[in-house]
Structure 1
Amino acid sequence: MTQHLVLFDVDGTLVDSQHIIHATLVETLARHGREPLDRAFMLGGVGLSLIPAMRRLLGPEADEALVAAAAGTYREVFHRLRGDPAHAELLFPGAAEVVAGLAARGDVVLGIVTGKTRRGIDYILDRFGWRAAFATVQTAEDAPSKPDPGMVLLAMAATGFRADATLVVGDTSWDMTMARAAGAGAVGVAWGNHTPDMLREGGAQRVIDRFEDLAALVGAPLTAEAS
């Protein structure tokens, strides 16, 4: 039986965290004397590690001291808001079922590649009872920020999989570019932070509208869709 490694992004792919991330970004900007930006632009940086995300948000005129300070503010605000039920992070429809179904398959090993910190992903794994489901978890603390392929390469090395047996599932162009740079397959999800066109431009070979469509793609030949 041929084995396959399926690597999931988290925010915007498995977990609907748009509300809490947007609220955190708005407060972070305000505390550093900045006005809110376009919501889609602000959420478009989700998936990047925190420092690159803050650099993108603050613009090229921001010095590294401001970027670092804003990153610290973001961490503080995010962890405070996470304790408020109004900002609860929920799973996208079908996420729990798809993770459970793939984890039960004898031909699939699951992993995570996320821009979250280790602390952030530990919270998610514990909250949703996913500790046993994922054989490898790669975070912003383990490799350079997406779209660098480092997280995917580390996940493959940790599990013994080659690129041609690895599939990355994510909601941003950063995920798709990361996957293709590592030689892995790339499947985008249409319900996240980047549009289907952005996903295809980033290298997505398929874009799915429902989580239920993912299982049939694991192990299937993928060719790039037209953008």
Structure 2
Amino acid sequence: MNKQYQLVIFDWDGTLIDSAGRICQCLALAAEDTGLDILEAEQYRDIIGLGLPEAFRKLYPGVSCATTMDRMRDRYSHHFLGREDSPSEFYERVEEGLACLWESNLKTAVATGKSRRGLNRVLDVCGWHGAFDATRCADETRSKPHPQMLMEILEETGTAPEDAIMVGDTEYDMDMARQAGVDRIAMGYGAHSIDRLAPYAPVLSAHHFDDVMAFLDRSIVS
């Protein structure tokens, strides 16, 4: 029987919204603009979830010039923002599931590799400011997989690690949650394959958002 939780923490890109393709495209365009090698799409997918500085260092470890990395970041933001007139779509049943959680006793939070400006922009579009009990972004704390992001959310919401669960689609989500002592749900439709997430001992491997909601059902009191 599933244990009961008090707090559900969601990753954003690849967990709630289907944005991996857009992120990879914008990274490739930014690399081209900056004069860097354009990598394979799978290499770009691999870093989804990290903060941009950490992502760029992993993608281009031989590039140490801060000016080059600043230009890469600026061009990525330019291309990504240019496509935000048509926002990335939520995965099926995500909006309905979140609405159910917000009507329940469960607290919700977001722990994302997005910047604060980027997350606030999408929350504005959705009308969701204040909907989550806490949010943390990679540019205001330590990037995944360091557990600081989760530890700050736990402190802000007054939740013990054993009473929280992290829902994510990358190794960085799983590793961060494991280090923080938080249970994990691995989403099988995002940036990293479910086989890559399995070694982090998720309590559930989900392939649809309804799987998450069914698992949390015991914790939900409307």
Fold similarity call, TM over 0.5 = yes
Give the aligned partner of residue 72 of structure 1.
74
Give the aligned partner of residue 46 of structure 1.
48
In structure 1, stretches of 5+ residues that fail to align are 222-227
Aligned pair partner of 2:172 in 174, 185, 198: 174
**Residues 105-120 of structure 1 aligned to structure 2 (within 5 Å):** 105-106=104-105, 108-120=106-118
Q: Secondary structure at the match of 2:26?
A: helix
Number of residue-to-residue matches in the alignment: 215
> Structure 1 vs Structure 2: percent identity of aligned residues?
30
Q: Secondary structure at the match of 2:108?
A: strand
Give the aligned partner of residue 158 of structure 1.
156
- Give the direction of change, closer, same or farther, for the CA distance of 1:118–1:197 in structure 2 (3 Å limit): same
- Give the direction of change, closer, same or farther, for the CA distance of 1:42–1:3 in structure 2 (3 Å limit): closer
In structure 2, stretches of 5+ residues that fail to align are none
The yes-or-no answer on 1:61 pairing with 2:62 is yes
Q: Secondary structure at the match of 1:82?
A: coil
- What letter matches 2:44 in structure 1? M
Distance 1:213 1:77 in 2: 34
Offset at residue 73 of structure 1 (A)? 2.0
- Give the direction of change, closer, same or farther, for the CA distance of 1:220–1:68 in structure 2 (3 Å limit): farther
Offset at residue 72 of structure 1 (A)? 2.3
Distance 2:13 2:129 in 1: 17
Contact 2:115–2:137 at 8 Å: present in 1 too?
Answer: yes
Contact 1:165–1:219 at 8 Å: present in 2 too?
Answer: no
Contact 2:14–2:191 at 8 Å: present in 1 too?
Answer: yes
- Give the direction of change, closer, same or farther, for the CA distance of 1:219–1:150 in structure 2 (3 Å limit): farther
Q: Give the stretch that moved more between structures: 24-33 or 210-219.
A: 210-219
Give the aligned partner of residue 89 of structure 1.
88
The yes-or-no answer on 1:136 pairing with 2:137 is no
Distance 1:45 1:219 in 2: 32
Distance 2:200 2:50 in 1: 14
Contact 1:6–1:110 at 8 Å: present in 2 too?
Answer: yes
Distance 2:72 2:138 in 1: 17
Give the aligned partner of residue 122 of structure 2.
124
Offset at residue 126 of structure 1 (A)? 1.8
Contact 1:173–1:200 at 8 Å: present in 2 too?
Answer: no
Distance 1:166 1:115 in 2: 19
Distance 2:57 2:15 in 1: 23
Offset at residue 3 of structure 1 (A)? 5.6
Give the aligned partner of residue 97 of structure 2.
98
Distance 1:202 1:38 in 2: 26
C-alpha offsets along residues 81-128 of structure 1, whole Å, 9 cap, x if unaligned?
323x3xx3110101101111111112x100000011111111121222
Contact 1:187–1:208 at 8 Å: present in 2 too?
Answer: yes
Give the aligned partner of residue 224 of structure 1.
none
Give the aligned partner of residue 9 of structure 2.
7
Please tell me the root mean square deviation across aligned C-alpha atoms, in Å.
Answer: 1.8
Give the number of the structure with larger relative contact order, counting CA–CA contacts within 8 Å between residues 6 or more apart.
2
Which runs of structure 1 show a deviation greater than 6 angstroms over 4 or more consecutive aligned residues?
none
Distance 1:172 1:30 in 2: 26
